[in-house]
């Protein structure tokens, strides 16, 4: 007996020690794997980063100015996948920022983002200087080139510590500025002339008073880019059943081209080829910023004069395509950072490349923050006349979510991050996420410890031992099974026995359920559902209990 007690005690010690080690490894491994990885364009890199170039290539200034210390939006991030966007609460009050995707957005993610904008009224910003975002862009009729833009007529100069222009008088034609509108198109993609900003508006700079009062029409602002690519725009709205509006907010000059055949040399690093090179596409209508709005989408929110309960309101889904991620970086976001790194808010008006010669009124560049903050405010539902004032006058009710899943991971950390993405896809509850991880590791540990040692033990893999499952589910019964799941959850939620539930009148049960779609599932005999609809109903059933509390 004493030996048995010792063995049990030793086994318990092994289990406890293993759990502690697993927990420490779970917390430490991600940090070890990412220790040698310099993450760029993240909203969560501190300003005290040792590498100055790395610090300037982050988004934390953008996150700060949009968050509590600035505009007051609720700031969050998604570490796993943007496939969950349609499960977020209040999608019409949420903006997803996908800035500098380091790996391509796949087809499933692109579809979910498209549905988020066009069906849920969500807001999205996608900024890239390559074709990693082309799958989602193509769904909106936009194409990213995979090479930098060369624009000798819209270039800005940067200066060294002595105040001398880098690159001499020639400068760098990949440093591009654009004059951008906020709500109106400066081009006419569909050719009907409707909604295009007037010539006087295009030559007027946005005054500080206009921005303060959120009057965003008939004015433009300078925006700086560093080595952007170009955007090609097709007006898909003309042939679409859904109402939408394509707006080109900023364009390169008519002489710009895509620099496919760059000619950099050590002696002349800024000689990037000429736009008369037949290998460099020069279509003359390359966009820098494109906005597409989808009005008339129905969403649930607190309505004006009926703020006590959720009601249907009309919202607008919006997506903004930007041809360069550096436009959002720390260096370009805040003018103080830009000035410290050789940029100036004025240009030489004697030069044809000066943006100030194109604008009257306020033509100073004061960092990209003011422009993109205005665009984000315009995309949100602050001007929605149906939305309750209690909601829209508190900016913390609106959310900006940074997509941190677009960063490339190392070979060692990829399995961990992919596993985390899968787990988060299964459950967005952080407690359950870690509980699943620890349980999986514990099960593996126990399985290893209880497997008896056998001499000459080997696996036998015999396909003849596999048999087809005898009782396959009949697809006709799928709906009934979903309905039974709903009724069981309602009964358990209200703490009823099966007999008590059976005595309830249909009208009373419908009131208990509350959700019109779920009521239809429970009582409609003529309604048929596709497998996709049943999967969506299962998600609604999963969320139902939380909504009732």
- Give the residues across from 311 on adjacent strands: 301
Indicate whether 204 and 292 sit together in one domain. yes
Indicate whether 431 and 486 sit together in one domain. no
Indicate whether 285 and 424 sit together in one domain. no
**In angstroms, rounded to a whole number, what is the distance separating the alpha carbons of residues 243 and 277?**
40
User: Which residue segment(s) compose the domain that 298 sits in?
Assistant: 126-376
Q: Which candidate, 259, 253, 230, places its Cα nearest to that of 142?
A: 230
Looking at the domain assignment, is residue 332 inside a domain?
yes
Give me the pLDDT at residue 115, please: 93
Indicate whether 308 and 441 sit together in one domain. no
Looking at the domain assignment, is residue 10 inside a domain?
yes
Number of domains in the chain: 3
pLDDT digit string (tens) for 64-93?
Answer: 999 988 899 999 888 766 777 777 889 999
- Regarding beta strands 257-258 and 245-251, do their DSSP bridges make them parallel or antiparallel, or are they unpaired? unpaired
Nearest-10 crossing angle of helices 430-450, 2-33: 130
Indicate whether 441 and 347 sit together in one domain. no
Looking at the domain assignment, is residue 403 inside a domain?
no
Indicate whether 442 and 488 sit together in one domain. no
Band (pLDDT 50/70/90 cuts) for residue 471 is low
Indicate whether 327 and 418 sit together in one domain. no
In three-state secondary structure terms, 20 is helix
> How would DSSP label each residue in 46-73?
-TT-S-HHHHHT--HHHHHHHSTTTT-P
Contact 312, 133 (CB under 8 A): no
Res 501 pLDDT > 80: yes
Q: Which candidate, 102, 104, 129, 106, places its Cα nearest to that of 410?
A: 102
pLDDT digit string (tens) for 435-462?
Answer: 666 777 777 666 665 555 444 444 444 4
Domain boundary among 348, 376, 404: 376
Nearest-10 crossing angle of helices 506-513, 478-493: 80
Q: How far is CA 515 from CA 286, 297, 310, in A?
A: 47, 19, 12
38 against 240, higher pLDDT: 240
Looking at the domain assignment, is residue 528 inside a domain?
yes
Indicate whether 329 and 199 sit together in one domain. yes
Indicate whether 334 and 420 sit together in one domain. no
**In angstroms, rounded to a whole number, what is the distance separating the alpha carbons of residues 341 and 414?**
35
Query: Can you read off the two tokens belonging to residue 277?
Result: 């090179």
**List of E strands, 174-215:** 175-180
CA 484 to chain centroid: 36
Backbone phi and psi for residue 473, each to the nearest 5 degrees, phi listed first: -75, 135
Domain boundary among 376, 400, 422: 376
**In angstroms, rounded to a whole number, what is the distance separating the alpha carbons of residues 176 and 171?**
11
Indicate whether 32 and 143 sit together in one domain. no
Contact 249, 195 (CB under 8 A): no
Looking at the domain assignment, is residue 355 inside a domain?
yes
Output the furthest CA–CA distance in the chain (Å, rounded).
Answer: 98
pLDDT digit string (tens) for 369-406?
Answer: 999 999 999 999 999 999 998 898 899 999 999 988 77
How would you class 429 by CB atoms within 10 Å of its CB: exposed for 0-12, middle for 13-18, buried for 19 or more?
exposed
Mean pLDDT of 178-193: 83
Percentage of the chain beyond pLDDT 70 is 74
Domain boundary among 376, 396, 428: 376
Res 425 pLDDT > 90: no
Looking at the domain assignment, is residue 57 inside a domain?
no
Indicate whether 200 and 337 sit together in one domain. yes
**In angstroms, rounded to a whole number, what is the distance separating the alpha carbons of residues 8 and 14?**
10
Indicate the range of 137-141, 159-163, 410-414, 480-484 predicted with least confidence. 410-414
Looking at the domain assignment, is residue 61 inside a domain?
no
Looking at the domain assignment, is residue 524 inside a domain?
yes
- Find all residues with CB under 8 Å of 51, minimum gap 6, and list them: 38
Indicate whether 371 and 436 sit together in one domain. no
């Amino acid at each position: 007996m004493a030996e048995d007690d010792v063995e049990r005690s030793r086994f318990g010690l092994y289990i406890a020690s293993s759990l502690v080690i697993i927990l420490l490894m779970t917390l430490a491994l991600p940090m070890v794997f990412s220790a040698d990885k310099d993450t760029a364009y993240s909203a969560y890199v501190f300003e005290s980063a040792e590498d100055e170039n790395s610090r300037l290539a982050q988004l934390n200034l953008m996150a700060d100015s949009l968050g509590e210390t600035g505009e007051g939006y609720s700031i969050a991030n998604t570490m796993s996948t943007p496939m969950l966007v349609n499960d977020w609460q209040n999608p019409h009050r949420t903006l997803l920022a996908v800035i500098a995707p380091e790996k391509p957005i796949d087809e499933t993610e692109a579809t979910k983002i498209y549905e988020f904008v066009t069906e849920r009224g969500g807001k999205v910003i996608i900024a890239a200087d390559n074709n990693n975002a082309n799958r989602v862009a193509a769904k909106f009729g936009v194409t990213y080139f995979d090479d930098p833009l060369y624009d000798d007529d819209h270039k800005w100069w940067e200066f060294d510590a002595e105040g001398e222009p880098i690159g001499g008088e020639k400068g760098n034609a990949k440093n591009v500025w654009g004059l951008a509108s906020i709500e109106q198109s400066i081009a006419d993609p569909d050719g009907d002339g409707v909604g295009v900003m007037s010539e006087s508006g295009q030559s007027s700079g946005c005054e500080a008073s206009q921005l303060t009062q959120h009057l965003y029409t008939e004015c433009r602002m300078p925006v700086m880019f560093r080595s952007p690519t170009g955007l090609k725009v097709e007006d898909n709205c003309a042939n679409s059943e859904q109402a939408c509006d394509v707006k080109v907010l900023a364009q390169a000059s008519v002489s710009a081209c895509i620099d496919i055949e760059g000619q950099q040399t050590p002696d002349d690093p800024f000689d990037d080829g000429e736009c008369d090179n037949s290998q460099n596409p020069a279509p003359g209508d390359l966009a820098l910023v494109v906005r597409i709005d989808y009005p008339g989408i129905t969403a649930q929110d607190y309505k004006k004069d009926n703020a006590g309960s959720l009601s249907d309101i009309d919202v607008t889904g919006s997506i903004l395509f930007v041809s360069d991620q550096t436009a959002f970086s720390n260096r370009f976001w805040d003018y103080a950072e830009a000035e410290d790194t050789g940029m100036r808010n004025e240009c030489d008006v004697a030069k044809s490349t000066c943006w100030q010669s194109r604008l009257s009124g306020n033509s100073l560049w004061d960092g990209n923050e003011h422009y993109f903050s205005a665009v984000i405010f315009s995309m949100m539902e602050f001007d929605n006349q149906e939305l309750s004032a209690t909601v829209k006058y508190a900016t913390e009710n609106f959310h900006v979510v940074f997509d941190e899943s677009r960063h490339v991971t190392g070979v060692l950390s990829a399995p961990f991050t992919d596993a985390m993405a899968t787990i988060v896809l299964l459950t967005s509850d952080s407690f359950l996420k870690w509980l699943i991880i620890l349980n999986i590791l514990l099960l593996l540990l126990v399985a290893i410890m209880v497997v008896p040692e056998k001499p000459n033990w080997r696996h036998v893999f015999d396909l003849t031992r596999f048999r087809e499952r005898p009782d396959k589910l009949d697809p006709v019964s799928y709906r009934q099974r979903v309905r039974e799941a709903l009724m069981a959850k309602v009964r358990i939620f209200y703490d009823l026995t099966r007999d008590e539930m059976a005595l309830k009148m249909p009208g009373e049960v419908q009131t208990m359920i509350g959700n019109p779609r779920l009521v239809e599932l429970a009582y409609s005999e003529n309604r048929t559902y596709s497998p996709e609809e049943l999967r969506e109903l299962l998600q609604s059933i999963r969320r139902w209990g939380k909504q009732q509390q």
